Amino acid sequence: MPASQVRSRARERSNVLNRAEFLSLNQPLKGNQESRSSLRKQSSQAAAAGAPSGNPKERRQSQQLPEEDCMQLNPSFKGIAFNSLLAIDICMSKRLGVCASTASSWGGARSMVNLLGITGHGIPWVAGTLICLVKSSTLAGQEVLMNLLLALLLDIVSVAGLQKLAKRKGPFDVSPGLLDYLTMDTYAFPAGHASRAAMLSKFFLNHLVLAIPLRILLVLWAFCVGFSRVMIGRHHVTDVLSGFVFGYLQFRLVELIWMSSNTCQMLISIW
């Protein structure tokens, strides 16, 4: 045997990378290659056998799955903006919920803030409107009170329906009160107190002759009622803002379907 071949074989034996444990790191073993090739053949045969019997809708869905995964991993700009606004809303609502419990920073004022919120409940307003309607003796007063009663009932029913559809919970785990259950104001979006306060303030500003200080106090009352619901942790900031907008839309709707004096007298006589 030539001396060059002897030296090359000696170098190969002395090379550490030619050992089996190092070869397995650089290149797959023959047994693994054979097992992988057999698995690929079996999978291709199973796919070929199941292709005729498979449903074309299922094949299309399986082809669309990677695209759906890509959409979830790469959300759109609208999704990012919506999630960012939602996070800001939750953060602001939790910071402003200073009366959410007795252990909060303003926990001692919780009863006073709750009392302010009661002024925006629907049950006291409906009961007060009915009492004033019974005691009213003028046609103009009965007309205004009947339309006010219609606006209150419309507010309670529409807000309850929207809350059942949205089913959004408040920023804190605060259970609704008895009056909330009576007016079906159990969810957060939209805020029923805010919509009712906005509707009532706009209604009184349009149909009652009030001095300027009283008009300013009426607007401040509506904002305080809505903000009190955020302070006690029952609603988010966006719930209250949407309640204000919804209350204004309710007022516009009542103005469009305003009942005349004759209609009100007919309803009163039936009642």
- Which positions are annotated as active-site residues? 193, 235
Q: Which residues of 8-39 are buried (b: 16+ CB within 10 A; e: fewer)?
A: eeeeeeeeeeeeeeeeeeeeeeeeeeeeeeee
Query: 236, 89 in Cβ contact below 8 A?
Result: yes
Residue 133 Cα distances to 120, 147, 164, 204, angstroms? 20, 11, 31, 16
Tell the burial category of 187 from Cβ atoms under 10 Å away from its Cβ (0-12, 13-18, 19+): buried
**Beta-carbon count within 10 A of 58 CB:** 9
- Of 222, 246, 237, 247, the closest CA to residue 117 belongs to 222
**Burial of 250 (C-beta count, 10 Å sphere; 0-12/13-18/19+):** buried
Q: Which residues contact 123 (CB under 8 A, 6 or more apart)?
A: 179, 182, 183
- Find the DSSP H helices in 183-236: 192-207, 212-231
